[in-house]
Structure 1
């Protein structure tokens, strides 16, 4: 619950790791004491390890999976991680028909996502 007056431009920070069920935030706008608009925002932690609802099978009946990993070099051998992109310089991606991510960096195509530090602007 909020204490005090809600003002224009308020910011709410929701950490997904703190969401265990669906959380619904109702936001209302008032002019004076008259409610002029209301909306609801629902937040769900989808990193719960559960599989989502299966889609319609493709023509061949196989399910493709996209796999993502992060690392600190172009071969994926330095700092390889399936879980964290924090402070990683490269992202690796590959697709196949297996649901589990491979821990073999050679399967991934690597691309640099963090460039060199640029010059300070004016």
Structure 2
């Protein structure tokens, strides 16, 4: 007799599937519009998703301070591993952009942060 053919086994499997689905639906969803982490002092930044590819995120920053600063974008990618973008160094008054790309296996960008 096959392990999965008995009525009791099917009932247990069905209960496990229902419980897993209920847990997944009860979990809070994250949104790319979630508030980004605090932007490092001296930088003014705009973050967002690429207009054509919603798995690509960016941070466009301007150094309003008096010292050189380095920053990068950090993407929280749902089921795929989180990723960091290229490091960008800006002198006072300069602007630059860091981009990163979430893996397609995931659910897309959940949050976008700027890291010093």
Q: Do these two structures clear the TM 0.5 threshold for a shared fold by scoring above it? A: no
More strand by share: 2
Higher helix share: 2
Q: TM-score band (shorter)? A: under 0.3
Higher relative contact order (CA 8 A, sep 6+): 2
Question: TM-score, normalising length from structure 2?
Answer: 0.26
